């Protein structure tokens, strides 16, 4: 059995620990009690797929630590990451009698973490949240860094807040119940991390695909921890995305557009993978990186069986991409790979973005 990694995060608004290991759900209660000593009651928020699998062990562990639990379950799926579901969660928190000294415990994938985190940010103007990610994507990305949001008709994550968690508990054993498709989808964000910060991780992911059947869970603990460190380094340096944190959006300008335009038919990680390939191809054509960089990225995404392009028409992609949160009056900041392990931010006008989409998403 591999060791548990404890990764400290230090942002201006909060410092906390991310625990990554195996068999951690049973310790969730004592970890919460230590990280949030004043909390006596939590709202455990989970979706309709994850709750039947993992709510009980977390409830029991919290109970054993002397913490009362009110469980709130919402219907699973990105299509429910909406203001209406958020409103329902908030009403149920109020009915349960949560006070400002209580907390939310999010048990689930990125949708649960984003929505439960936003509920915590809003409830009585802000209470603590603990993230217990159960999808690989949520473990390596969404549970860390404090971005919370719901989608609007106009696009992804357009209403949200920053709220750093007080604790993250990532139990790799939860991945045993994840479908091969979801596991593959989550790898999109890990490939992104390799491209933006760590060539060694990128090569490791390429040579030994994490989504292959029977992948060693102990090895996965180390890989998840490395991904968390990459994200932590960026979030520590720029909590609220004034500069460097925008690099974590690599692949997302086009990826989010694909996700919203396809009405969430494809998972988030798959859209990021396709968006990453598109921006890499365009970058090579524009001389922003060597052709070999784009070829390696596309080959890695292909090795995971993830999409490397989209058939959505370019006008629609541009429309959604223009509503991106990196849009300012004079254009959009695009994240561009310069080599494997490094990226740069490039300000492009909407006309230039149209050209990037034409070059990157063409035949
Ligand atoms: N806040 C951030 O920094 C951040 C970062 C990346 C992605 N995100 C967001 O995260 C979301 C995608 O996350 P996701 O892929 O986890 O989606 P998700 O939460 O919808 O989970 C995908 C599916 O897997 C199920 N599931 C989760 N864990 C499971 C388990 N252990 N066993 C069986 N089924 C399980 C869920 O019920 C769901 O049906 C998107 O909304 C994306 O925008 C946020
Ligand atoms: O944490 C971040 O910062 C990220 O950009 C991570 C992304 O993987 C994630 O999908 C995030 O939710 C996108 O942020 P958004 O601000 O573009 O919605
Ligand atoms: Zn993402």
ipTM: 0.99
Which helix (H) or strand (E) segment holds residue 13: the answer is none
Dig out the tokens for 205 from the structure: 């992911």
Q: Does 180-361 match 5-177 at the fold level? A: no
355 is catalytic: no
Local structure of residue 141 (DSSP, 8 states): I
Instruction: Give the closest residue to 80 by CA, choosing from 49, 123, 120.
Output: 49
- Vertex 257: Cα angle to 252 and 261 (nearest 5): 150
**Topology adopted by domain 5-177:** Rossmann fold (3.40.50)
Residue 199 CA to residue 191 CA, distance in Å, equals 10
**Topology adopted by domain 180-361:** Dehydroquinate synthase-like, alpha domain (1.20.1090)
> How far does the centroid of ligand 1 lie from the alpha carbon of residue 306, in Å?
17
Q: Which member of 81, 92, 184, 268 is catalytic?
A: 268
189 is catalytic: yes
Instruction: Region of 353 please: left (phi>0), alpha (psi -120 to 50) or beta.
Output: alpha
323: CB partners within 8 A, 6+ apart: 154, 155, 158
Instruction: Give the closest residue to 231 by CA, choosing from 205, 198, 258.
Output: 198
Of the CA atoms within 13 Å of residue 126, those in its CB half-sphere come to: 10
**pLDDT tens-place values along the chain, 363 residues long:** 679 999 999 999 999 999 999 999 999 999 999 999 999 999 999 999 999 999 999 999 999 999 999 999 999 999 999 999 999 999 999 999 999 999 999 999 999 999 999 999 999 999 999 999 999 999 999 999 999 999 999 889 999 999 999 999 999 999 999 999 999 999 999 999 999 999 999 999 999 999 999 999 999 999 999 999 999 999 999 999 999 999 999 999 999 999 999 988 999 999 999 999 999 999 999 999 999 999 999 999 999 999 999 999 999 999 999 888 777 777 899 999 999 999 999 999 999 999 999 999 996
> How far does the centroid of ligand 2 lie from the alpha carbon of residue 81, in Å?
15
Instruction: Give the closest residue to 21 by CA, choosing from 157, 219, 204, 159.
Output: 219
Residue with tokens 């936003």: 118
> How far does the centroid of ligand 1 lie from the alpha carbon of residue 133, in Å?
8
Q: Is 97 annotated as a binding residue?
A: no
Instruction: Give the closest residue to 13 by CA, choosing from 239, 241, 242.
Output: 239
81 is catalytic: no
Q: Is 81 in the pocket of ligand 2 (CB under 6 A)?
A: no
- Among the atoms of ligand 1, which is closest to the Cα of residue 77? 20
Q: What are the sequence ranges of the domains in the chain?
A: 5-177, 180-361
Residue 271 CA to residue 189 CA, distance in Å, equals 10
């Amino acid at each position: 059995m591999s060791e548990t990694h404890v990764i400290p995060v230090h942002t201006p608004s909060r410092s906390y620990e991310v625990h990554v290991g195996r068999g951690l759900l049973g310790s969730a209660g004592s970890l919460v009690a230590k990280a949030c000593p004043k909390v006596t009651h939590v709202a455990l928020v989970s979706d309709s797929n994850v709750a039947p699998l993992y709510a009980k062990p977390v409830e029991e562990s919290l109970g054993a630590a002397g913490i009362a639990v009110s469980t709130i379950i919402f219907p699973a799926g990105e299509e429910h990451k909406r203001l209406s579901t958020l409103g329902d969660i908030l009403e149920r928190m109020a009915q349960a009698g949560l006070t400002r000294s209580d907390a939310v415990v999010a048990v689930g994938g990125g949708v649960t973490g984003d929505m439960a985190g936003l509920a915590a940010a809003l409830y009585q103007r802000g209470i603590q949240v603990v993230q217990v990610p159960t999808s690989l994507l949520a473990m390596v990305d969404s549970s860390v860094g404090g971005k919370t949001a719901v989608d609007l008709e106009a696009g992804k994550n357009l209403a949200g807040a920053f709220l750093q968690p007080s604790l993250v508990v990532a139990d790799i054993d939860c991945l045993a119940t994840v479908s091969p498709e979801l596991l593959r989808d989550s790898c999109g964000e890990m490939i992104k991390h390799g491209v933006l910060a760590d060539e060694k991780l990128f090569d490791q992911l390429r040579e030994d695909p994490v989504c292959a059947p029977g992948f060693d869970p102990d090895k996965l603990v180390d890989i998840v921890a490395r991904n968390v460190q990459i994200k932590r380094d960026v979030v520590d340096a720029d909590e609220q995305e004034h500069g460097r944190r925008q690099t974590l959006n690599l692949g997302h300008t086009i990826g989010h557009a694909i996700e919203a335009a396809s009405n969430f038919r494809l998972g988030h990680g798959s859209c990021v993978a396709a968006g990453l390939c598109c921006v890499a191809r365009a970058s090579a054509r524009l001389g922003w990186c060597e052709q070999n960089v784009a070829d390696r990225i596309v080959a890695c995404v292909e090795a995971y069986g993830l999409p490397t392009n989209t058939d959505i028409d370019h006008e629609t992609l541009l429309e959604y991409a223009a509503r991106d949160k990196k849009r300012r009056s004079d254009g959009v900041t695009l994240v561009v790979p310069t080599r494997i392990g490094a990226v740069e931010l490039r300000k492009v006008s909407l006309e230039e973005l149209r050209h990037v989409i034409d070059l990157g998403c063409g035949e």
